Amino acid sequence: MAMTRFDPFREFTSLQDRMNRLFGDVYLRDEELSGRGSWVPPVDIYETEQHDLVIKAELPDMAREDIDVTVENNTLTIRGQKKAPGDVKEEHYRRIERSYGTFSRSFTLPNTVDAAKVSADYRNGVLTVKLPFREEARPRTIAVEVAA
């Protein structure tokens, strides 16, 4: 008997992606709506007080070698493959709710990001990609002199 994976939130994720694309995202836009792969890892995107963008992606039970991060033409792409555990035979499973297989997420970067300084760190199942702003895009304080 073949195992069929059920994902009740797949349609909601697709709807959310379409709404984000329709209204646009201030900083980043998810490029792909279909054909991403077997599963889509959730991400958080936020700006730090140092005016850097950060993307955190949940990639549990993955090896560093199975994750690929690229920046090309103002697009950040995170790809990888989450492998099913080999220590349990498929016929021994009663239920499989976790997703396995390949994935790909692409985000359009704002022009203010310095693509040459992007860095990535993978720790405790979370991939953190830091996207620093260009110096000219960072806010700066201008001193106002008083004429005597």
Report the CATH number that the domain containing residue 68 is assigned in CATH. Answer: 2.60.40.790
Q: Could you give the dihedral angle defined by the CA atoms of residues 82, 116, 137 and 122, in that order, rounded to the nearest 10 degrees? A: 30
- Report if residue 41 sits inside a domain: yes
- Report if residue 20 sits inside a domain: no
Q: Which domain holds residue 99?
A: 29-137
pLDDT tens per residue across span 39-98: 889 999 999 988 889 999 999 999 999 999 999 988 999 999 998 888 888 888 888 888
- Report if residue 19 sits inside a domain: no
- Report if residue 98 sits inside a domain: yes
- Report if residue 10 sits inside a domain: no
- Report if residue 38 sits inside a domain: yes
Q: 122 pLDDT band (50/70/90 cuts)?
A: very high
- Report if residue 51 sits inside a domain: yes
- For residue 7, the tally of other CB atoms under 10 A from its CB is 13
- Report if residue 143 sits inside a domain: no
Residue 145 tokens, joined: 């002199």
User: Structural domain tally of the chain?
Assistant: 1
